[in-house]
Structure 1
Amino acid sequence: MRAWAVVAMMFLFMLINFADKAVIGLAAVPIIADLHLTNEQFGQVGSAFFLFFSISAVLIGFLVNRVSTKWVLTAMALIWAFTQLPMLGVVSLPILFASRIVLGAGEGPAYPVALHAVYKWFANERRTLPTSLVAIGGAIGAGVVAPLLTWVILTFSWHAAFGFLGIVGLVWVAVWMIVGKEGPLDTHQTEAGGGGLTHVPYATLLTSRTAIGVFIAGFSAYWALTLAVVWLPAFLVKAAGYTPTQTGWIVTLPSLLQMVLSPIVGYVSQRLLLTGTTSRVSRGLLGGGCVAGAGLAMILLSKSTGSYEQIPLVAVTFAIGSLIYTLGPALIGEISPVRQRGAMLGISNAIYTLAGLAAPWLMGHIIDIGANPAEGFRSGFELGGSIILVGGLLAMVLINPERDLERFRQTGVTAAGLRASPPAAQA
């Protein structure tokens, strides 16, 4: 019961995390109008969120190898809340930049730390389903709460939407202080990952086929995710001609689809593993294929015109690629010794989110130099879809955790985490 309570809290944690990200896109049109921004300037605000996102993910990833995840998660949620509250006042472009940069630094480690907390309650072969449930929290935060946030923006102001999320974050902290607890599979349990090894050199882990494949797939999927968060609402209003209220409902579709697919894919992957299918197939080919499918859908979206084409393609494009965030962390956990798992999850998340530095700004630049907003969006989506498609195909070829774990053993890494050497040298 406590294990699933932690999963539920991490679900809500990621819901708030992605709602914090999504609100900037939902408020894009009034923010651009109120602050007199160009599309490129607004894209720079979106990219600024990721300025320290990757760095903090790595640093906190190493920290949670040694510090209780309960207190790290508490500190992160407080940073999110207190960063949103100043947006209730008078906001200038520098204040908006500062708010998003600090918020991004606080949110960078969110997903890997949440999964590290959950993985302390579930062994390797049973992690995919709880991972999918945590990932669904992000999907709901990014899309399903969009109508609520849109209503707040239209009824009150975009300032109120930011303040509302700050208050929600403080409520989460209060509940987490009661519910939060470390799981039994802590850093003393070597059987929870890395094939029973207690240490593998980070250079070996980071250059393994599986890690590189997961990094590429995660980066590619994050390209789509950041475009959805920062630019999808503006695309639907400015280029496709939908009203803000219609847009608030349309952007829920990727999240609804992901909510359906994520547990299904997680369950199927877990059942395949339990019945003897290799992780390369049950996690690697499945995850990479989802990313490649998202890239193809984005290319088709760039060429679509009518709502009968656009709306289904929006749902598929911005939903199925994110399924790699259910399967990818499980792959990283599979090849990483448990004492290194927090750092590896943090590093992988840092690499994924580098896409956030480039994608929003590049899309804004392409829109500004396009003949009109519609053509600019189409060019940006065509480029993004090509990047995502190639990334998914590369991941399908590279990911092979069984081969990587065998290579770790053959290179002389022992269960004690040391190469064969005299006792004195080991001491």
Structure 2
Amino acid sequence: MTVQDRPLKGAWGMTALLFLFMLINFADKVVVGLAAVPLTRDLGLTPEQFGDIGSAFFLLFAISAIVVGFISNRVQTKHTLLVMAIIWSVVQFPMLGMVSLETLIICRIILGAGEGPAGPVATHAIYKWFPDSLRGLPTAVIAQGSAFGVIIAVPLLNWIIEKYSWHWAFGALGIAGLVWAVLWLIFGREGTLVDAPVSNTSSGNERVPYRYLLTCPTILAACAAGFASYWGLALGLTWFTSYLVAGLGFSQKLGGNLTVLPWVFGALVVLAGGYVSQRLKRKGVSSRLCRGVVPCLTILAGGCVLPFVGAMPSDALKIAALVFGSAIGSTIYVVLPMIISELTPHPQRAAMLAITTSVVTFAGVLAPRIMGSMIQNAATPLAGYEQGYVILGLLLLAGGLIGLLFIRPERDRKRLAAHAVADLSLQPARA
């Protein structure tokens, strides 16, 4: 089987469209956190109720990711991506009318179900355009759709919230989603690149029983590291602006605009990490080092800083510690799908990307609710926030250490190859 050594023609055009796809995806996620203070004031919400809104987004997120992931093993990604974008758009428009807590929660649940598969399906789609050795940079670019979704959208959405209302911030995102859907309908195409098989003797029509994939130490360890990091991401989406405004006493305008800081830093980390990982891989460095050791060391660095956010002597240092600690480990979002792709046969890749994403993003169900409970029950809101960041730091230390010890793709690839079997459903029909 000939291994493709360069991207397909048009690969970077598809990367640009999927970058915009993820940009809108994360703008949809961050709008609730950005509007936290006026929204809770208008609806008369407690911190626990607002935490429930943040968690509601992730309630069906994981389930939807798994279901659509298995569908994407058989259905072209261009169709599933289009359906997702339409769902995102339509569900924003009820926010333009009279909104109750129940309406907001229902719409966020539906939005989460529509956005849950976005990351794995977009990654699966772009991997049909790039060979394994060249996936670091395009994976990082697509991952940066999340950061730029916040960096670009936050000032615009914050301006809309201040000048009009938080209702219109949701409406603007609905319109943006429809515009992307039209662009994708016109320009979106399906890649044709197929990965090399897991076992060297296979023709490529192979599969590994899911019980072996789902108990693979490398995959489990990568999920543990990703779960810890996503806990911090979920807190950033839901509570960061509120921490600045309600905790540190900043204005909505200043606090909202400062919300971009973790995402700017995270964007630099992810782009640099994706580039370095790809360069090392092209030079023959082991996946164990470039996709395991390096990212997990950055997660550990974040875990060492976050427990001390509350001890910082000034607001500026508190913000700096929080930004550094929560974003320095962001490279895991780039290397996790590459690890899964490296270990999973092509016919099962979409499903495994979805399953692992669902495990990682389950942190989003827990983190906002737990933080809300801590804020409501602490002596002061500020103390509640900072206790929540201590928990995040401990999770990062645990996840980073697990990843450092057990992410060993080369070893586990050999183990999985021993369990590879022919996938008869993919064999050509006999006359």
Q: With structure 2 as the length reference, what TM-score do the two structures score?
A: 0.93
State the Cα deviation string for residues 348-398 of structure 1 (Å, max 9, x = none).
110011111110000000001100101111111111211122111111111
Match 2:215 to one of 185, 207, 216: 207
- Match for residue 388 of structure 1 among 390, 396, 410: 396
Deviation for aligned residue 1:177 = 0.9
Pick the aligned partner of 1:166 from 174, 180, 188: 174
Partner of 1:191: 196
Moved more, 288-297 or 220-229: 288-297
| 1: CA distance, partners of 2:216 / 2:273 | 25
Q: Which residue of 2 aligns with 1:364?
A: 372
**Alignment map for 1:230-269 (pairs within 5 Å):** 230-269=238-277
Q: What do the CA deviations read for 1:167-218 (whole angstroms, capped 9, x no partner)?
A: 0000000111111111111xxx351667666211111011111100111011
RMSD, aligned α-carbons: 1.5
Pairwise mapping of residues 100-179 of structure 1 onto structure 2 (< 5 A)?
A: 100-179=108-187
Query: Hey, what does 1:64 align to over in structure 2?
Result: 72
Comparing 284-293 and 64-73, the one that deviates more: 284-293
Counterpart Cα distance in 2 of 1:166 and 1:37:
24
- Equivalent residue, structure 1, for 2:17: 9
Alpha-carbon deviation of 1:242?
A: 1.5
Structure 1 distance, partners of 2:325, 2:243, is: 14
- Secondary structure of the 1:67 match is coil
Cα distance in structure 2, aligned partners of 1:320 and 1:221: 9
Amino acid at match of 2:415: R
Query: After the TM superposition, which of the residue ranges 235-244 and 60-69 deviates more from structure 2?
Result: 235-244
Q: Which amino acid aligns with 1:322?
A: S
Structure-2 separation of matches of 1:290 and 1:20: 27
Pair 215,194 (structure 1): closer, same or farther in 2 beyond 3 Å? farther
Output the CA distance in 2 between the equivalents of 1:401 and 1:43. 37
Compared CA separation, residues 149 and 413, structure 1 to 2 (3 A): same
* Inter-CA distance 302–62: structure 2 relative to 1 (3 Å threshold): farther
Q: After the TM superposition, which residues 254-333 of structure 1 pair with which residues of structure 2 at under 5 Å, given as runs? A: 254-333=262-341
The answer (yes or no) to whether the contact 1:145–1:252 under 8 Å persists in 2 is no
Distance 1:393 1:323 in 2: 15
Distance in 2 (CA, whole Å) between partners of 1:105 and 1:311 is 32
Equivalent-residue separation in structure 1 for 2:134 and 2:152 (angstroms): 27
Equivalent of 2:349 in 313, 330, 341: 341
CA contact (8 A) 1:5 1:179 kept: no
Aligned to 1:425: none
Amino acid at match of 2:370: L
Contact in 1 for aligned 2:198/2:413 (Cα 8 Å):
no
Q: Give me the whole-angstrom Cα distance separating, in 1, the residues matched to 2:94 and 2:197.
A: 42
Counterpart amino acid of 2:212?
T
Q: Structure 1 residues 412, 92: CA separation in 2 closer, same or farther (over 3 Å shift)?
A: closer
Secondary structure, counterpart of 1:322 in structure 2: coil
Separation of aligned partners in 2, 1:214 and 1:147: 34
- The answer as to whether partners of 2:208 and 2:419 remain within 8 angstroms in 1 is no
Cα distance in 2 for partners of 1:294, 1:192 equals 36
Given the alignment of the two structures, is residue 413 of structure 1 paired with residue 417 of structure 2, yes or no?
Answer: no
Structure 1 residue matching 2:330: 3-state secondary structure: helix
Alignment partner of 1:219 is 2:227: yes
Q: Does 2:54 align with 1:50? A: no
Q: Secondary structure at the match of 1:371?
A: coil
- 2:78 maps to 1:73: no
Secondary structure in structure 2 of the residue aligned to 1:321 = coil
CA distance in 2, matches of 1:301, 1:362: 18
Deviations 1:205-263 (A, max 9, x none): 11111100111011111100000000010001111121111112221111111222222
Cα displacement (A) at 1:321: 2.5
Mapped contact 1:296–1:389 kept (Cα < 8 A): yes
Q: What does residue 3 of structure 2 align with?
A: none
CA distance in 1, matches of 2:265, 2:44: 35
Contact 2:198 2:420 in 1 (8 A): no
Could you tell me whether the CA contact under 8 Å between 1:283 and 1:327 is conserved in 2? yes
Deviation at 1:31, TM superposition (A): 0.9
User: TM (normalized to structure 1)?
Assistant: 0.94
SS across alignment from 2:229? helix
Query: Could you say what secondary structure the match of 1:406 adopts?
Result: helix
Deviation string, structure 1 residues 71-116 (Cα, Å, up to 9, x no partner) = 1000000000000011001000110111100000000000000000
* Count of residues in correspondence between the two structures: 413
Contact between 1:143 and 1:254, CA under 8 Å: does it hold in 2?
Answer: no
Of 20, 23, 28, the residue aligned with 2:28 is 20
Question: Secondary structure in 1 aligned to 2:196?
Answer: helix
Q: In the aligned structure 2, how far is the partner of 1:156 from the partner of 1:73?
A: 31
Q: Any idea what the Cα deviations from partners look like across 1:107-130, whole Å, max 9, x if unmatched?
A: 000000000000000111111110
Asked whether the equivalents of residues 15 and 138 of structure 2 are also in contact (C-alpha less than 8 Å), the reply is yes
Separation in structure 2 between the aligned mates of residue 292 and residue 179 of structure 1, nearest angstrom: 41
CA distance in 1 between counterparts of 2:63 and 2:199 reads 24
Residue in 2 aligned with 1:424?
none
- 1: CA distance, partners of 2:26 / 2:357: 15
Gap runs ≥5 in structure 1:
419-427
User: Partner amino acid for 1:199?
Assistant: R
Once residues 301 and 108 of structure 1 are traced to their aligned partners in structure 2, the CA distance between those partners, rounded to angstroms, is: 31
Aligned counterparts of 2:263 and 2:219: Cα–Cα separation in 1: 27
